[in-house]
Structure 1
Amino acid sequence: MTKPERNRNSALRVAARNLKRSLKRQQALRRRRRSPARFIGVTGSSAKSTTVTLLAHILAARGPTRMQVFHNTYYPVVETMRLLTGDESYSVHELGAGSDFFREAAQMIAPDLAIVTMISMEHRSRFKTEENITREKAQLVEALRPGGVALLNGDDPWVMSMADKAEARQAQVVTFGQGEGLTYRAMRIQAAWPERLRLTLEWPGGTLDLQTQFVVGHFWLPVTAAAAAALELGVPPEIVAERIAQVAPLQSRCDTLEVPGGPSFVMDTAKAPARTLGLSLDLLRTARAPYKRFVLSGVSDFGGSNRRQYSDVYAQASEVADEVIILGERAKHARASDEDIAAGRFRSFADVKSLTGYLKETARPDELILLKGSAALHLERAALAFREEVACWQEKCGRNHPCHDCLALTSGYSPKAVKRQRDSSFHPRDPKNPLFRRLEG
């Protein structure tokens, strides 16, 4: 084939792909316009997925609910809209930053209720400043339907700066958080391993005690946001409390694996931005366990020197953990003292496989092990190996979803198998796909 022919074929493929996308977009917009559902959009730097999952589960008690979670950019929004059947009561969408089409996705959702959880420097590499992140996330509030509701984190000044944009849409501003004077206020927050998070929600309609399955205190934020949104949408308080108590932690977002007669793991392995590491360490600080270990596979979105970041993390972790383990070459930046190294309070390993072997050799009854890392490194395998024989120790497989249900976990890594699983995990019409679910009852 000549070069002109290759160029012509390539141009035809691009044109066909663009036409297909345009047709999908038109179908999505048509189904969105015809849907009688109430649409909810959730954005923020953290707590989006848990808020969406909690809220969708609550709303499903009142009517069929469409949920889009984890995949949170423009094309997943399009695919979710295309799945609308016209009988849904609610449609709940997660919208993340980093897409070139954030505004288009927000406008397609055109939410009746927009939730903004928090703003933090978890997108430093792309946005550089909180101002830029706020500007991006505020586009969801700007897309509110006139007369809608903006549910904003009243403890976060960056989020509250979006209130004027809501008012410009003639939308009602409702606040949640822990501070005085907020519409929905989380009070008496308690979480100390092995107990699960519980809190009391106060709002103009009364008080509501909420018991959850979460093991870390900072999950009060998505719990409060979801409860407040449900109450704003008219769900009775008793149903809100009942449904929240049923929701387990999402995979790799502080979910647990408890080994009979052995250790308990908390897997916080979805992401590891520098500014949120302290929240994870709070679990170890308050936990009641005879021995505590903290395992870190990396720090992201820190800016500046990684030497300083790792030494700071080690200093914080060593105050709350009996043993601190850091993976990879950057472990040397922890600057652990010779005394800590000799006493076994600090250890380092090259990869997850060698770490897992060490944990199996040294496991203690009733100890607590907190795993912290980014999704691409799949640190959760160190815990899952206590559940079943792990055959995949690939350092980076290209799949950013948890290993819990990956076929390669027990059958072994192969590029083709992981690619098939990665592709199928995005396919919205797969009935087993948890990311584009229709929830009922």
Structure 2
Amino acid sequence: MFVGGVQTVRERTIRAVAALAGAADPAIEGTAGPDVVIDSRLATPGAVFVALPGEHVDGHDFVAAAAANGAVAAICTHPTDAALAHLVVPDALQGLTRLATGVIAEAKSSGLRTVGITGSSGKTSTKDLLGQVLAAHGATISPKGSFNNEIGVPLTALRVTDDTRFLVSEMGARGGGHIAWLCRIVPPDVAVVLNVGHAHLGEFGSVEAIALAKGELVEALTPQGWAVLNADDPLVAAMAARTRARLAHYSLTGEPAGDLRVWAEHLRADDVQRHSFTLRAAGAGDDGAIDCAEPVELQGPGRHQVVNALAAATAALALGVPPVTVAGALSGAVAQSAWRMQLMPRADGVLVVNDAYNANPDSMRAALVTVAGMRRAGGRLIAVLGDMLELGAAAADEHEKLGALAAELGFEVVAVGQLADEIARGVRRGFGTVTRVSDVQEAVAVAQANLQPADVVVVKASRGLALDRVADALAAAGETA
């Protein structure tokens, strides 16, 4: 039960902000808040601006601009000429981190419940689903997009107000210790681990090292917490041995083990691979015994979204959200973050699927399998595929496997990027059709050529390739066709 106050603002004295951030007492009266920003253009009246150093620019150069937009204080490493309170700290990021840590500690003492989500793929989609489920039960903070690093997590945490009941944090890792560090800012009451795959393989070196890093999330739990684990992923299920918390398992293949057990039955898919199923749960959550069978109809396409929905449902049920509320919210949930299996139907009948936000071998497979299920009578499947980044020594082999899978599923492939030749080699190995292109403009031209009303086009690559431009151009072409 939430027992916090009813105030809806995060304003506090400038001196209190300084104390939380680890700055010397500025001896300045007045209040700051509610917003904390790192972009001077986003400063609002009363805001606190954090002057982070950047690769190309220094946040201290923009303190005056933040002040002009209404900021009343800046967390910085040295004073500037700007007319606002300077909260001087040894390191601006550390100041931001200390401020967020203090705010969350205060909020948790008043009843805030926190959820951390990690995994090699599906973090943002699951976070978006869970945010909407929890919001149906109480005031919830959940970031839009993928704010899952040392800057995004504290900035999201600083949106918490006195009436916030739930905070959902997406937690990424690019090395060992990263998630443990994020958990010191936002200690989780519920830790959700989705999967262990090949994303960032080049940085970690092995899947086992990835599993070791992801498991830091469940290690941060207290015995009163909940470890929400994917029973269908052996590396995730094994994390049960690394936590003191209660265990909640979810599965797509049948009833798993655990104090709380969640699974799906009677899966069905429509013509664009939106799935419906019966949400089953047994065991007990924070509010007592659970035994339910509730219908769910997801709005997003893909069988993998059922797995994401089960993860979100398990976390919510563990926190005491009623099953009927969970099922209803999952059925009404819509995409919160751009370029993730975004359906873009054209007026001429062509369907463009924009999944260009990011890519790794696991998410590529899920996307291609999902879109293959959308094939329409008399129509073709076309895939514009680009590089999957951060795969290290495995990159060439994984891209060739990707091409072979696309050919096996019946896609005509347009390959772009530094590893387009490897994609093309895989397509040819699978006796498929492939065109190697040099840039976005050529990719659009080749993909657009000879499109017919029943065709389905999917666009996917790592974010660094910005292939969302291809999807947008193809969708726009339908307006003038």
TM-score (norm 2): 0.71
What is residue 120 of structure 1 aligned with on the other side? Answer: 197
Matched ranges for 1:49-198 at <5 A: 49-69=124-144, 70-98=146-174, 101-167=178-244, 171-182=245-256, 183-191=261-269, 193-198=271-276
Distance 1:165 1:55 in 2: 24
Asked if 2 retains the 8 angstrom alpha-carbon contact of 1:119 and 1:158, the reply is: yes
1:256 and 2:337 are equivalent in the alignment = no
**Which of the residues 366, 377, 381 maps onto 2:465?**
377
Deviates more, 1:280-289 or 1:57-66: 280-289
Query: How far did 1:147 drift?
Result: 0.8
Return the alpha-carbon distance in structure 2 between the equivalents of residues 337 and 49 of structure 1: 33
1:2-401 matches, within 5 Å, as: 16=88, 18-35=90-107, 36-69=111-144, 70-98=146-174, 101-167=178-244, 171-182=245-256, 183-191=261-269, 193-204=271-282, 205-249=291-335, 250-289=337-376, 290-304=379-393, 308-328=397-417, 330-333=419-422, 334-335=424-425, 345-388=433-476
Bigger helix share: 1
Shift in Å at residue 72 of structure 1?
Answer: 0.6
SS across alignment from 1:174: strand
2:321 is paired with a residue whose SS is coil
CA contact (8 A) 1:24 1:78 kept: yes
Matched AA of 1:186: A
Question: Residues 176 and 337 of structure 1: is their aligned pair in 2 closer, same or farther, counting only changes over 3 Å?
Answer: closer
Residue identity (%):
27
User: What's the CA shift for 1:304?
Assistant: 4.3
CA separation of 1:286 and 1:360: change in aligned 2, threshold 3 A:
closer
Q: Distance in 1 between matches of 2:470 and 2:314?
A: 37
8 Å CA contact 2:273, 2:303 repeated in 1:
no
CA distance 1:337–1:151, change in 2 (3 Å): closer
- Provide the secondary structure at the position in 2 that maps to 1:238: helix
Q: Give the Cα separation in 2 of the matches to 1:199 and 1:87.
A: 34
- Cα deviation 1:126-182 (Å, max 9, x = unaligned): 111122212212221121133111111111121122212222xxx211101124441
- Aligned-partner Cα distance in 1 for 2:328–2:211: 34
Q: Residue type matched to 1:189 in 2?
A: L
Q: Match for 1:188: what amino acid?
A: H
Higher mean C-alpha displacement, 332-341 vs 33-42: 332-341
Q: Which has the higher contact order (CA 8 A, sep 6+)?
A: 1
Task: Name the Cα RMSD after superposition.
Answer: 2.8
Normalising by structure 1, we get a TM-score of 0.77
CA distance in 1, matches of 2:418, 2:157: 45
Q: Is the 8 A contact 1:56 1:65 kept in 2?
A: yes
CA distance in 2, matches of 1:284, 1:38: 37
Deviates more, 1:319-328 or 1:33-42: 319-328
Change in 2 beyond 3 A, CA 1:149/1:28? same
Q: 2:135 & 2:270 partners in 1: Cα distance? A: 30
Structure 2 Cα separation of the partners of residues 104 and 153 of structure 1 = 23
CA shift, 1:301, in A, is 4.7
* 1:214 Cα offset (Å): 1.4
Distance across 2 between alignment mates of 1:255 and 1:174: 31
Q: How far apart are the structure 1 equivalents of 2:280 and 2:150?
A: 35
The AA in structure 2 aligned to 1:42 is I
Structure 2 unaligned blocks of 5 or more: 1-59, 61-75, 80-86, 283-290
SS at match of 1:63: coil
Distance 1:285 1:248 in 2: 22
Distance 1:222 1:44 in 2: 11
> What displacement does 1:188 show?
2.9
2-structure distance, mates of 1:58, 1:322: 36
Higher mean C-alpha deviation, range 65-74 or range 252-261: 65-74
| More displaced stretch, 301-310 vs 182-191 | 301-310
Matched position secondary structure for 1:25 = helix
Structure 2 residue matching 1:74: 3-state secondary structure: coil
Q: Given residue 356 of structure 2, which amino acid in structure 1 is its aligned partner?
A: T
Deviations 1:84-143 (A, max 9, x none): 222111111100011664322112211111111111121211111122212212221121
1:195: how far off? 4.4
